[in-house]
Structure 1
C-alpha cells in the first residue's frame, strides 16, 4: 500500500465529497477566468476597430495606416498574436458590424474571436448575425458546429415544418414546439444514398446519434429505437422515441422513405396514444409526433393535419445535399485566418 493510499484511508468520511466539490469549484473558476480573458480580448479588438473607423472617417487615413499599425503593434508586443494587417481589418469590420458597445459587451463578447470571424465572413445582414450569435451562446456551439449550422441554413429551416401545434398546444408550448421542428432535416452525415430504406436510415441515425441530436436541436434526449408497445394482444414498434427536456414531453418520430400520405398520420397518432397511456408519467405533457418523409405536398400535409387533435408535425429529410451556391464563399477559411494570425511578425 502506498503512502498516498494510507493517507487517504485516514481522511474523515466527508473528505471525498468535499474534494469533489472543490474540484468542481476550481473547474468553474477556470472556465470563468477563460471567459473573462476572451471577453476582454474581444472588447479590445472592438475598441481598436472603432479607433480605426473614427480616424479613417474624420482624418481621412488610408489603408497604409493599417499596415504600419500592424508592424508597430507587433514590434511593441512580439508575444501577442492577432495584430496582423488582416486581423486589424477584421477589427474594423467587427466594429462597423456591431456599433452598439452595450450589445457587444452583453452578447458578442461572450463568443470567441474565431466565432465572430465566422459571423463576419458569412453575413452582411445584422439580423442574421445576431440570430446565429444568440443561438451559439444558448447552445454553446463550437466554431465548427456554428459553421455547419449556417451552411445548413438553420435559420431558414427552423420552425418551417407543417404542424398543428398552434391549435393543439397551449402557449408558450406551441411556439416552443414549432421552433423545435425544422424542415427539411439534413441527414447527409449518414453517407447514405437517396434510395436508402426506412430501417437503414433509422439504424444509421442511431449509429450517429450525437450528430442526429445536434440536427434535432437543443432539448432532445434519445430514449430508444424500435421501442416496443404492447397493445391488446399485438406488439407495435416505434421507429424512434425522444424526450424533449424543455417541452417536458415525449416525441415520437416515424420515418417514411417515400412521399407523405395522409394515412401515415393515423399510425403516428396511434403510437402517440400508446405512449401517453403506457410511457408518459403524470408530470409529463402530451406526447408530440413528428413524421419525417422523403417528400411532401405542403397543401396535402396541411389538409391532413386539419382535423387532428393531437400535436403533430410533418417535415422532409435530405440524405445527400450539396451546399447551395449562395452559401459558398470566396472569403478566407478559418484555417487561413488562423495561419495569418500566427504568421511571421516581420
Structure 2
C-alpha cells in the first residue's frame, strides 16, 4: 500500500464533519423558521379575510363555526381550523395590522442597546396603537348558512382581499410581515399572548424576550403570570449601578436586574433557611438561571476564599456574558439590614482580586433579601464604592419542569472570554 493511501486513511475528517454538521443544523433552523413564518402569514391573512367578511356580511359566532366545519370537511387532513383557532386568527390580525408591523420595524433598534428607558419608550410608542376586541361572539343566526356553500372558493380570495384592504401588492405585505418580530415565535406562544390581554408594547417585549432566551410556551406563560415585565422594567429598583459603573454597562446591569426575583422551590416554601434555599437553587440551577435572565452562567456555590488567616464562603458566584463580569450573590432569608452590605462589598473586592481577569469588567454584587425597606437600602448603598443591587426574592413552585432556555454553558463563557484574548 502506498504512502499516499496510508496518509489518506489517517486523515482527520472531524473538522470537516463538524463544519458540515453545523451548516446542516443552521439550514434546518432556517427551514423551520421559514415554515413558521409561512404559517403565521397564512393565519394572519385568513384572520383579515374573516374580519373583512364579518364587517361586510355581518357575520357572528355561528358563521365562524360553520366556516370551521366547511374547511375541515373539504380538507380533512389539515389541522388548525377549529372555531377557536379561527377566532385566534382574527385576534392575531387585529392585534398586528400592517401599520403596527411597520412601527415595530422602526423601533426595533431601541433593543440593540437594552435599557429600562429604551424599553419604556418602545412599549409606550406601541401602546399608542389602540386594540379593539374582536367582535366574533355576537349571535347572527340568520347568517348561519352564508359560508357553507362555497367556503374554499371564497378563501381563495384571501390574498386579493388583503391587497385591497392595504392598497398594496400581496408580495410587499408578505415581505413586511416576515421581516417583523412576530414571526420569530410560534403560534402556540402567540395564542398565550392573545389570551393575556396585555398591551401591545408589552406583548412585543415578551416576544423579543422569548426569542432571546429560547423560552418554550410554558416558560412564556409562567413569565407572564409572574409579571416579568413589571419586575424587570417598571419595578422601583435599588442599586448604585448608574454611579458605580460606566455606560452602557450600568444601563445593561439595571435592565437585567429584577425586583422581586421569583425562585422555584421543591417542597415547602415557607420559612426556609438560607442554606436550604441556596441548596435548592443550586440543585435546580437551570431554573435558577432562567429566572436570573439572559447570559448568566453558574460559577460556584459557597466559594471558599482564604483571606489573611480567615476562611470566607461566598453564597453564589455567576458570570454574565453580556456584562463580561462576575456577579456575586448573597442570599438572606430575612428582611434587608444595612450590615449585609458590608459582607457583600467584601466579597466583591475578593472576587475582583482573585477571579477577575484582565478582560473582565468590574464585579457586580446582588443582595437578595426576603423583604425589607427599600428607602433604608438606598441610603445604605451611598457608603459603598462597589456596584451593588438590592432586590427582594419570593419562593414559589411556578416554573414548569419541561422548560427550555438558551442558557450559556461554561464552554460558551470561555469562548466569549477567548475572543478578547484573540483580539490582542
Instruction: Output the TM-score relative to the length of structure 2.
Output: 0.71
Matched, 1:127 2:125: no
Long gaps (5+) in structure 1 = 1-8, 324-346
8 Å contact kept, 2:265–2:280: no
Query: Deviation at 1:296?
Result: 1.1
8 Å contact kept, 1:191–1:319: no
Aligned position for 1:212: 288
Long gaps (5+) in structure 2 = 1-6, 105-176, 400-424
Greater mean deviation of Cα atoms: 313-322 or 259-268: 313-322
Aligned position for 1:37: 35
| 1:154–1:59 Cα change, 3 Å | same
8 Å contact kept, 2:264–2:287: no
Aligned position for 1:58: 56
Superposition RMSD on alpha carbons, in Å?
2.1
* Among candidates 375, 389, 396, match of residue 299 of structure 1: 375
Query: Deviation at 1:192?
Result: 3.3
Equivalent-residue separation in structure 2 for 1:216 and 1:322 (angstroms): 15
* Among candidates 80, 83, 102, match of residue 82 of structure 1: 80
Once the two structures are superposed, the pairs formed by residues 168-183 of structure 1 within 5 Å of their partners are 168-183=244-259
Instruction: Output the TM-score relative to the length of structure 1.
Output: 0.87
Equivalent-residue separation in structure 1 for 2:21 and 2:359 (angstroms): 34
Equivalent-residue separation in structure 2 for 1:64 and 1:164 (angstroms): 59
Corresponding residue pairs, total:
317
Matched, 1:236 2:301: no
Query: Deviation at 1:13?
Result: 1.1
Query: Deviation at 1:188?
Result: 3.5
Equivalent-residue separation in structure 1 for 2:263 and 2:61 (angstroms): 45
8 Å contact kept, 1:190–1:208: no
8 Å contact kept, 1:194–1:320: no
Aligned position for 2:94: 96
Structure with larger RCO (C-alpha < 8 A, sep 6+): 1
Equivalent-residue separation in structure 2 for 1:22 and 1:209 (angstroms): 33
| 1:320–1:15 Cα change, 3 Å | closer
Aligned position for 1:185: 261
Matched, 1:200 2:276: yes
Deviations 1:129-168 (Å, cap 9, x if unpaired)?
1111111112121111101111111111115331111111
Greater mean deviation of Cα atoms: 123-132 or 185-194: 185-194
Aligned position for 2:182: 108
Equivalent-residue separation in structure 1 for 2:59 and 2:278 (angstroms): 60
8 Å contact kept, 1:262–1:304: yes
Aligned position for 2:45: 47
Secondary structure, in 3 states, of the residue corresponding to 2:386? coil
Query: Deviation at 1:313?
Result: 0.5
